Amino acid sequence: MDVFVDDRKVDFACEPSETLEQTVHRLQSQTCPSGHVVVGVRCDGIHLTDDELSDAMAKPAGEYGCIEIATSTPSALVTEALETAADMLTETDPNREQCAELLSRGKTNEGITALGDCLSVWQQVHAAVTKSIYMLGIDPDRVQVGGEPLNAALALPMERLGMVRDALKVQDYVLLADVLQYEFQDVTEKWHSLIETVQQLAAVKGQDDQTT
């Protein structure tokens, strides 16, 4: 079996009884650069994702003639994820305003459809921020965002999303339009501040990783 780590062939022997998942874990611990994590797996030239990856991980590693893994650092992953999140947030903000306008004009169905797209983006943005904080091992009590604790900054988007949920539950579309129009501008700005702060912390960690 041929084994590659970041396109570099390594001397590595699979145990006869181990699964692909066990092999990947051993590759990470024994062959990956310090501080790197596995971010991609390719078997016999096929890049595995989602269900394919889950299925393959349970199979014997010996079934494959070639295993390739790609690695990256947490700081690089965070930087990439947050750049994408910031772009998504900027692109969806005009949709938020359009959604509020549609609801204000009584075009409920169109407004709710537009809101669904916005909610999907906001959930992805919030997930990217919270996962990045976890991945970097950030202590929320020691980080300030715009002069307030990180946890307080994270709480505002969740509070406003709760207001959206409550307005939807009672079908108060006038209130929903007001929340989107007047309350969510602060949320967008807060998310951007969070993203910028975490990106700065990721950059510092990336520099630390290079010196260790």
The per-residue pLDDT for range 45-74, each reduced to its tens digit, is 999 988 889 999 999 999 999 999 999 998
The per-residue pLDDT for range 145-172, each reduced to its tens digit, is 988 999 899 999 999 999 999 999 999 9
Cβ contact 123:160 at 8 Å: no
- Name the one residue in this structure whose structure tokens are 């807060």: 190
- What's the whole-number mean pLDDT along residues 41-45? 94
pLDDT at res. 209? 63
pLDDT band at 40 (very low <50, low <70, confident <90, very high): very high
Provide CATH code, domain 2-72: 3.10.20
Per-residue pLDDT at 212 exceeds 60 = no
Provide CATH code, domain 75-211: 1.20.120
DSSP state letter for 57: H
pLDDT at res. 35? 83
DSSP state letter for 182: I
CA distances from 189 to 155, 157, 161, 178, 211 (A): 13, 10, 14, 17, 34
pLDDT at res. 17? 87
Per-residue pLDDT at 31 exceeds 60 = yes
Query: In CATH terms, are 2-72 and 75-211 the same topology?
Result: no
Beta strand residue intervals within the chain, DSSP E: 2-5, 8-9, 37-43, 46-48, 66-72, 144-145, 148-149
Cβ contact 113:105 at 8 Å: no
- What's the whole-number mean pLDDT along residues 189-209? 88
Q: How many CA atoms within 13 Å lie on the side-chain side of 29?
A: 6
Q: Where are the domains of the chain?
A: 2-72, 75-211
b/e map 118-134, b = 16+ CB within 10 Å: bbebbebbbebbeebbe
Residue type, 35: G
- What's the whole-number mean pLDDT along residues 125-154? 90
Per-residue pLDDT at 190 exceeds 70 = yes
Per-residue pLDDT at 83 exceeds 90 = yes
pLDDT at res. 110? 94
